[in-house]
Amino acid sequence: MKSKPQIIAQGAEAILIKDGKILKKDRIKKSYRHPALDSLLRTWRTRHESRIMEKASKLIPIPSIKKTSEFEIDMDFVPGKRLSNYLDSLPEKKSLKICKQIGQQVSKIHQSNIIHGDLTTSNMILYKSQVYFIDFGLSFHSHRAEDKAVDLHLIKQAFESKHFKRAKSYFKNIIDGYKQANPEAQLVLKQLEKVESRGRYKGKH
């Protein structure tokens, strides 16, 4: 007997509904916006996210899209473990290997000028030794080293807040993975230093 669809998460922008082996991401109507504008924005964001996911799926593990409609993306449900809750419970050697894999995958999408926009371990699922990136709702295209550096800075901040005991070694392995076969890595990492120095300067005021 097929189980009933169930809401598994609800954010400011979308509801996630699990329906068997399918995950439906349904963009929420915003009552404060003019109905025509709201419809236009939701449609554009849904299609934009779907296009970026299609492109990223040729590069790294992400949920496969089954169907895209006006406000909804239907994709495969990835039944693994969310890294935000799981990474620290693994033996350190294994967790560092996973971080290296994450760095390699970030490098691959960056080389195709895809910026994830919300790189945290909450948006990564470990399934059969593969890290799947999820939630491309804030993603966009950019060739700028600045945007790629900010993407890396986001995951560094995520480690410092959620995985602070191993944050340094985790991020070192991210960077090691990022550098592999990436001709633009040094340019991005140099920009990352500038992004971080701006943050430190801001913190003094």
- Catalytically active residues are 118
Which residues lie below 8 Å from residue 55, measured CB to CB, with a gap of 6+?
A: 112, 114
**Inter-CA distances, 199 with 118, 153, 158, 164, 204, Å:** 18, 10, 15, 18, 9
Cα 97 off chain centre by: 18
If you search the block for the tokens 């392995």, which residue do you land on? 173
84: tokens are 């935000």
Partnered with residue 81 across adjacent β-strands are 126
85: tokens are 């809750």
The one-letter code for the residue type at 50 is S
198: tokens are 């701006």
Which residues lie below 8 Å from residue 204, measured CB to CB, with a gap of 6+?
A: none
Q: What are phi and psi of 129, to 5 degrees?
A: 65, 10
Task: Say if residues 14 and 27 touch (Cβ distance below 8 Å).
Answer: yes
Distance between CA 78 and CA 64 in Å, rounded?
A: 9
